[in-house]
Amino acid sequence: MLRLYIIGILILIIAILANAIAMKLNILTWYDYISVLTKSNSSEISVRFIDYLWLFLAYPLSLGFGYWMGDYIYKLIFN
């Protein structure tokens, strides 16, 4: 159970950092993307290719990195 907690904390930290970096670089986060999708006027939607790369490639990879780091730290401490 402690392993899952450590992994979860690292994923959370990485997600916060990744969202901060995306906002700093003016790239859509998932929260922004969902608000774009729920707009009533679909002609105003402007999602760039870099946004899709971030949302569907880089962001999931960064969360996977958070999992890997959490698992690595757990193994360093308890093995």
Three-state SS sequence of 16-79:
HHHHHHHHHCCCCCHHHHHHHHCCCCHHHCCCCHHHHHHHHHHHHHHHHHHHHHHHHHHHHHHC
Task: State residue 40's pLDDT score.
Answer: 65
**Average pLDDT value for residue range 4-29:** 96
Overall domain count for the chain: 1
Task: State residue 36's pLDDT score.
Answer: 82
pLDDT bracket for residue 46 (50, 70, 90): confident
pLDDT higher than threshold 90 for residue 53: yes
Mean pLDDT value across the chain: 91
pLDDT higher than threshold 80 for residue 60: yes
**Average pLDDT value for residue range 52-63:** 96
Range of the domain at 22: 2-78
> Encoding tokens for residue 45?
């939607």
